[in-house]
Structure 1
């Protein structure tokens, strides 16, 4: 699949659900508005709503970390154990072993977003850019707001010389996570580069 087609898939899929629920983190005890936030999806939706509104960089980073924790929880002890094993294999520089383990994770839990995301990252580290982009596409099909995967896509598009697509990807990132300083800088640099190339 071409980078353009993958990116168009991202554009079409990337929507941020609106929800009026407040983040559980801001409430000392369950309130009527938050009492119903019992599922992982409801918690994520509330966290993403807060992340989109938060302008303080440090508070936004805390929200992003909480979102990452939600993504890491697979709901399966077996999958969680396999993910820990994959992490250890990566730390021990046994990337092919880690890749085999992540293949098992995806086979066991095809809708577990972090299995695909971790494998996309590993493929990138191994220089398998086409496979990494393919896995990123799967991540975004499951969770269009996955800012880590969007950043990975933007990085690879820029490395491939597709600066306009990369800039659009960073814009999508900022639509989800507006306070991220690095994304702001990347977007600004690409905008300047593209403006310069048109003059």
Structure 2
């Protein structure tokens, strides 16, 4: 069985944890992030409006709004970039992460300012147990889109794989400041709660 990336490269662990701490320090951008963009596309504006709605949505509404946000984030504005993203996603769904990485690397080379390309490549790298490179792609995703709750969730998943439930729990709490009804994150926090806070009295 192939060793996970960090097990095969133990010297990388310190660098990974340091980089992860930088990602944890990224603030929730919210409305101020939207106002700070000098030339914001209509899609980005729509995403910001939807993010504000997501914070106050009911559980039933939240899933629909989150889907709309993710669809907006998946629009690059370039037909060729959108095609590469689709090919990468299709390869991931077919459980072919190596093929996905090839398509998504072409995408990040072609459109380095497209956050979703980095996020999807991080997902493919994670499936290959390449946690260090996945973390680097999540950093790039969040530098471009600090509100990307799926990327923040991915960071929490990496912390779980590194055996650091406390940091994973902290990251998941950040997801909830953006998407309070994120079902997978709520489930993960419930799973980690005893490890982090101890058994209930």
Tell me the TM-score normalized by structure 1.
0.81
Q: Which has the larger radius of gyration?
A: 1
Q: Which residue is 2:175 aligned to?
A: 173
Cα deviation, residue 38, structure 1: 6.3
Q: Which residue is 1:44 aligned to?
A: 47
Cα deviation, residue 66, structure 1: 0.4
Cα deviation, residue 95, structure 1: 3.2
Q: Which residue is 1:131 aligned to?
A: 133
Matched-pair contact (CA < 8 Å) for 2:169–2:196: no
- 1:112-151 matches, cutoff 5 A: 112-151=114-153
2:25 to 12, 17, 29: 12
Structure 2 residue 113 is the aligned partner of structure 1 residue 111: yes
Higher mean C-alpha deviation, range 140-149 or range 78-87: 78-87
SS of residue in 2 equivalent to 1:13: coil
Change (3 A) 1:48 1:89: same
Change (3 A) 1:189 1:16: same
CA displacement 1:24-62 (0-9 Å, x = unmatched): xxxxxxxxxxxxx962221111111111111x2221000
Matched-pair contact (CA < 8 Å) for 2:113–2:144: yes
Q: Which residue is 1:2 aligned to?
A: 15
Matched-pair contact (CA < 8 Å) for 2:101–2:124: yes
Cα deviation, residue 137, structure 1: 1.2
Q: Which residue is 1:74 aligned to?
A: 76
Task: Give the whole-Å Cα distance in 2 for the aligned partners of 1:90 and 1:172.
Answer: 26
Change (3 A) 1:189 1:94: closer
5+ long unaligned stretches in structure 1: 20-36
Task: Give the whole-Å Cα distance in 1 for the aligned partners of 2:96 and 2:124.
Answer: 11
SS of residue in 1 equivalent to 2:133: helix
Cα deviation, residue 17, structure 1: 1.9
Change (3 A) 1:102 1:38: closer
Q: Which residue is 2:91 aligned to?
A: 89
Tell me the TM-score normalized by structure 2.
0.80
Cα deviation, residue 11, structure 1: 3.1
Q: What is the aligned length?
A: 181
Task: Give the whole-Å Cα distance in 2 for the aligned partners of 1:149 and 1:60.
Answer: 18
Task: Give the whole-Å Cα distance in 1 for the aligned partners of 2:18 and 2:164.
Answer: 13
Matched-pair contact (CA < 8 Å) for 1:16–1:176: no
